[in-house]
A and B are shown apart, each in its own frame.
Chain A
Amino acid sequence: MCTNNLANVCRIAIALLAVSISSARAHHSGAMFDPEVMLTLTGTVTRFDYVNPHSWLYVNVANEDGTFTEWGFELDAPPRLRRLGVSPSFWRQGDRITVNTNPLKDGRPAGSLRGAVSEDGRKFGNSAGIPALP
Chain B
Amino acid sequence: MIKTPSAAVCLLTGLLGAGAFAQGDRGGAAADCVPLAEQHAGLGTEQSVSANKLFTTVWGSFELPGGPCGYESAEAHYTALLEDTKRRGGPTRHTLTSLPDWSGHWGTDNSTGELAIVGINSAAEGIAVRLTPEAREVFLHDARMWNEGHAIDPISFCLPPNFPRWITEYGFREHFLTPDKTLLGSEMVNEFRRIFTDGRPHPSAEWMTHEWLGYSIGFWDGDVLTIWTKGVKEGILQRNMPRQTNRMEVIERWRKVDPVAAGVDIEPNTLGSEFVPDQRIEVELTMYDPTFVEPWHTVVALYKEDDRTAEAKERIWPHQWDCVEGSQWYMTDDGVISQYAPGEKPAITDPDYWFNENYVHK
Contacts and interface: CB of A to CB of B under 8 A. Distances in A.
B339 A83 contact: no
B322 interface: yes
A31 B172 CA distance: 27
A79 B172 contact: yes
B157 to A, nearest CB: 8
Interface string B263-292: 000000011110000000000000000000
B199 interface: no
Interface in B308-342: 315-323, 325-329, 337-342
Contacts of B322: 51-52
B319 to A, nearest CB: 5
A51 B325 contact: yes
B153 to A, nearest CB: 7
Contacts of B240: 23-24
A28 B315 contact: no
Contacts of B153: 28-29
Given A27-B327, A29-B151, A29-B156, A110 B273 contact: no
A7 to B, nearest CB: 12
B182 interface: no
Interface in A10-29: 22-25, 27-29
A51 B158 CA distance: 14
A74 B321 contact: no
B273 A83 contact: yes
B9 interface: no
A28 B317 contact: no
B223 interface: no
Interface residues of A, number: 36
Interface string B136-150: 000000000010011
Interface stretch (B53-61, B107-115, B351-359): B107-115
Most buried by A among B146, B151, B328, B343: B328
B26 interface: no
B237 to A, nearest CB: 11
B149 A29 contact: yes
A27 B149 CA distance: 14
Given A52-B321, A106-B338, A80 B151 contact: no
A72 B156 contact: no
Interface of A: 22-25, 27-29, 31-33, 49-54, 56, 58, 70-72, 74, 77-80, 82-85, 87, 104, 106, 108-110
12 contacts: A22-B112, A24-B113, A27-B327, A28-B155, A28-B329, A29-B156, A58-B342, A77-B171, A78-B319, A79-B172, A79-B318, A87-B315
Given A54-B328, A110-B328, 20 more contacts: A22-B112, A22-B113, A23-B146, A24-B239, A25-B112, A28-B151, A28-B156, A29-B146, A29-B156, A31-B150, A52-B171, A52-B323, A54-B327, A56-B328, A71-B341, A72-B339, A72-B340, A72-B342, A82-B273, A104-B338
